[in-house]
Amino acid sequence: MGSLDTSKEELTVLVTGFGPFKEQYPINPSWEITASLPDYLPPDRVKDPARQAPSYLPPVWILKHGPVRVNYETVRGLVPTLWDDPAVKIDYVIHIGMAGPQPVYQIERRGHRDGYDKTDVDGKLLGDEQRRKLEGDKWIWNDVPSELLTDLDIEQIHKRWVERSPANLRLHISEDAGRYLCDFIYFSSLAHLYKQQRPRKVIFFHVPLQPDQESLSRGKELALQLIRAICETGLGKEPAF
């Protein structure tokens, strides 16, 4: 077991989820999953009950924000307020979003600055190509790379996440968050931290679009196990299997 870091009394993880996505998806599972999360990470459920050990993680406070409107300007204005709230220190952020119908759950390694050519729920384009030309070096993402990666150890997080999840589920690392609002909120967080020269302790979690109760319950459990994997990895802990 790794050494216990007692310098941190509590960890804070902020989770966001999106609101309705146009008329065909009035229920967005990303927000339903986010809203269902408890205020604190529950005690660990090890695979072998006979080897149950006290939790070696400090208490993990789960903050929820949303539902976030599927709108570029809303997201652009929101993200800095999530990270820069003087009243609370955020250790990690997980943005959750809806993907396609396939039963695949993905954590995203990177976000993209460019290529947002689809309208949001209000029929608006991002318009950053024109904005960049007009604003020059005052453009919000001037001198920000076209791709940014999370600073979290996504390989180790994925390994722990898979170990704690049912074997029949497809849990993947993805390199393309889709260049829509999911990618946009992820890159917005990555870029905000990059500009402030802060560690990019953020990840994006894509869930299938099904809003039935079984799917939402599964998504909730996977989100909790992802939070645990992120916190364990960040503190350098060994899981108590």
Going residue by residue through the chain, which has 241 residues, state the pLDDT in tens, using 9 for 90 and above. Answer: 233 343 458 999 999 999 998 777 899 999 999 999 999 999 886 554 444 444 579 999 999 999 999 999 999 999 999 999 999 999 999 999 999 888 899 999 999 999 999 999 999 999 999 999 999 999 999 999 999 999 999 999 999 999 999 999 999 999 999 999 999 999 999 999 999 999 999 999 999 999 999 999 999 999 999 999 999 999 985 544 3
Q: What is the pLDDT of residue 45?
A: 67
Question: Could you give the 3-state DSSP secondary structure of residue 111?
Answer: strand
Structure pTM? Answer: 0.91
Say if CB 83 and CB 192 are below 8 A apart: yes
Show Cβ contacts of residue 73 under 8 Å, excluding neighbours closer than 6 positions. 124
Q: What is the pLDDT of residue 47?
A: 53
Q: What is the pLDDT of residue 105?
A: 97
Q: What is the pLDDT of residue 55?
A: 54
Say if CB 223 and CB 33 are below 8 A apart: yes
N residues, the chain: 241
Q: What is the pLDDT of residue 237?
A: 58
Q: What is the pLDDT of residue 98?
A: 96
